[in-house]
Amino acid sequence: MPQGRSTQNRGAHRASSSRRRSTVSSVRVGDIRTGGIRKRAGRAWIMRFVAAIAVLAVLAGVGLFLYFSDVLSVEEVSVSGVHHLTAEEMSALAAVPASSTLLRVDAESIRERVRTNPWVEDVQIRRVFPHTLELQISERPIAAIVEVTAGEGGAIDNWAISKEGIWLMLIPPTGSAESANISPQIYDDASHVLHITDIPLDVKPAVGEKCTDESIHNALSIIAGFTTDLANRVSVVSATDTANTLLTLDDGVQIAFGTAENIRDKERICLQLMQEHPGQISYINVRVVERPTWRSTPSF
């Protein structure tokens, strides 16, 4: 065979082999494995998603069953934190419907009803499963007893008032038929708080209402503004008007205090005078804080 033709045939063979090799693609083993892992991860995610949906559906079904059934019915109303009120009074005031369950009970309506009582400052409602509704009451303490003239005969009614000036109740006389129906704590507290006397005759208290008399508010503000034990030593406040508010201490010393202004300065002056003249002072006047005066105890 001529050399030129042999060379031509070898070139054609190499070209044919090159075309056959160009049709074969290569894939790395790592790519195959990664693709398989991704497919399995995708299937696992779908299975987890379906399982989560199934769990949520079961929980929703259980929740609906419990909500509309009587399984968690309210069988007991527990009351705590009451001292001036009885648990029976609070339970009656709460008026929890007989058909209530712990899930369906209208806690906000109960809270509103309980807070209509002036003694109640706040109430927290807790669901104690499976059958108890707990009312945690925060009561208003008695800040003072206000002596109110009742009728034309000059009889005095004792009214309990809170520090905010809310009329809490008319305290019946000890030993009366009405006194048997109220908490003994009320009488105990009333015996340890100050009395506000000599108030204007037009003051007409009403349970649960806010006191509007300025002289009474002035007296309450003075006591609330004290920062020392002097507040605990005040037994009576004569509140004819704000300018002439007169405090009487437990040892008989009288303080013409006036308005509830410069309370700390007036308090400091009173304490300083009594410290400098122990047992010698019967009267202090600090109505004008820049010009305080005092009188000594009469000697016999």
- 194-246 per-position pLDDT tens digit: 999 999 999 999 999 999 999 999 999 999 999 999 999 999 999 999 999 99
pLDDT band at 60 (very low <50, low <70, confident <90, very high): low
Interval 239-277: pLDDT, tens: 999 999 999 999 999 999 999 999 999 999 999 999 999
Are 166 and 209 spatial neighbours (Cβ–Cβ below 8 Å)?
Answer: yes
**In the prediction, which pLDDT does 69 show?**
58
Query: What contacts 272, CB < 8 A, 6 or more positions away?
Result: none
Mean pLDDT of all residues in 104-113: 92
pLDDT band at 27 (very low <50, low <70, confident <90, very high): very low
Sign of CA dihedral 240, 243, 244, 247: positive
Most confident of 5-9, 15-19, 135-139: 135-139
Collapsing DSSP to helix, strand or coil, 37 comes out as: helix
In the 8-state DSSP scheme, what is residue 129? T
Sequence-distant contacts of 288-297: CB under 8 A, at least 24 apart:
288/258, 289/262, 289/265, 292/266
Are 223 and 144 spatial neighbours (Cβ–Cβ below 8 Å)?
Answer: yes
- Give the pTM: 0.75
